[in-house]
Amino acid sequence: MRIVLGVAGGIAAYKAAVLLRLLKESGHSVRVVPTRAALEFVGRPTWEALSGEPATPDVFDDVTGVAHVALGSEADLVVVAPATADLLARAAAGIADDLLTTTLLVARCPVLVAPAMHTQMWEHPATVANVATLRARGVHVLEPASGRLTGSDSGPGRLPEPDEIAAAAFALLDPPARDLAGRRVVVSAGGTREPLDPVRFLGNRSSGRQGIALARAARDRGASVTLVAANVTLPVGAGVVVVPVETAEELRDAVRTAGKDADAVVMAAAVADFRPATTAGVKIKKQPGGSLPALELVETVDILAELVTDRLRAGQVVVGFAAETGDDSRSVLEHGRAKALRKGADLLVVNAVGRDLGFGTPDNDVVLLDAAGDEVARAAGSKDEVAHAVWDVVLPLLAPASRA
């Protein structure tokens, strides 16, 4: 596919170099069209070296090729990342004063825009109106991420991460079937934290990446999605309702509340198995003489087993995750099969975890088991690919749409 990557003049332009590599590594041809301001942040030689094609902001650099018309006409997708407030304003007004804005006027292919600017710029009524205008014309405008901005300020306005923009681009090039349209799903993600004192907790290494991928995949396939996010800092993106939680008990309550009307509940979060029996009101100090404080643990609620036993609605599909490590007695898959039999979930997604394995990594390798512990599918690749593979297996288990 032929992609035009427009880059506007913001500090986040350096992230577009990573996006360019992701697009190229997926086998697509990419032509970078920077604005003049963008070249103040990342130079032309960088774009040309990474893309293997010319990178100019000027319509007069290729007059004989009529580049200002040809680029947009021949493109299968136009992506603008970052899109500054200025670029959004010019695009909304139909101004065509450089190669990028002329390309946007000519393009009849899908256009994906990833804004990045200061929070006050993003929330200004002019920008709000410009974004609404572009969306009304069919432009796909991503929501910016929230977090630390260029200076000391924080808030919405950060450029979404390159992998999120790339995933949105690939979805436009090869859109998934809207086979979950009209469905409501709940996905949990991240790792719970059980407080020991005001500054310490028992937790795990889960980043929430796989759960977020599951939520996005369901959204892209037409579902109404609620993500119960336990201590997740990664961007989720537009179109997903996010309910932040911290502890296992908070996650349980949020899932049960959101899941009352859900066709499927996917428990991808890494829920702590234990919590401290008591939580100290002040930071626990080291004791004179080196004596250690006693730590008594109690089991947390088994949310997955509870969901299976007490379905929140008739016909609801319950999917669990088993993050396992092998040991001398059983392999990862054997532990997963035993868990499938104990829990009774409609599906159990089993994967190996550990340092640099499963948690926090961009890829995953899973086996899907049914309630009897029998293998029904395998999936490996990016967590987005794994997410779609999971929904492919869930789909035929759902109650007929008329009952959804």
Catalytic residue positions, numbered: 204
Which conformational region is residue 94 in: left (phi greater than 0), alpha (psi within -120 to 50 degrees), or beta?
left
**DSSP-based three-state secondary structure for 173:** helix
Q: Which two tokens stand for residue 160?
A: 């979404």
- Assess whether the previous peptide bond of 400 is cis (omega < 30° from 0): no
**DSSP-based three-state secondary structure for 65:** coil
Distance from the Cα of residue 93 to its chain's centroid:
31
Strands 2-7 and 317-324: unpaired
- Give CA–CA dist 28/40, Å, rounded: 26
Q: Which two tokens stand for residue 257?
A: 């509340």
- In which element (H, E) is residue 368 found? strand 363-369
> Do 130 and 95 contact (CB within 8 A), yes or no?
no
- 48 CB-contact burial (10 Å; exposed 0-12 / middle 13-18 / buried 19+): middle
In the chain, helix, strand, coil percent, each to 5?
Answer: 35, 25, 40
Q: Which two tokens stand for residue 133?
A: 């205008």
- Cα dihedral 321, 333, 163, 3, rounded to 10, equals -120
- 57 CB-contact burial (10 Å; exposed 0-12 / middle 13-18 / buried 19+): buried
- Give CA–CA dist 27/19, Å, rounded: 13
CB atoms near residue 222 (< 10 Å): 15
Q: What is the largest CA-CA distance in the chain?
A: 83
Q: Which two tokens stand for residue 38?
A: 């963008």
CB atoms near residue 95 (< 10 Å): 15
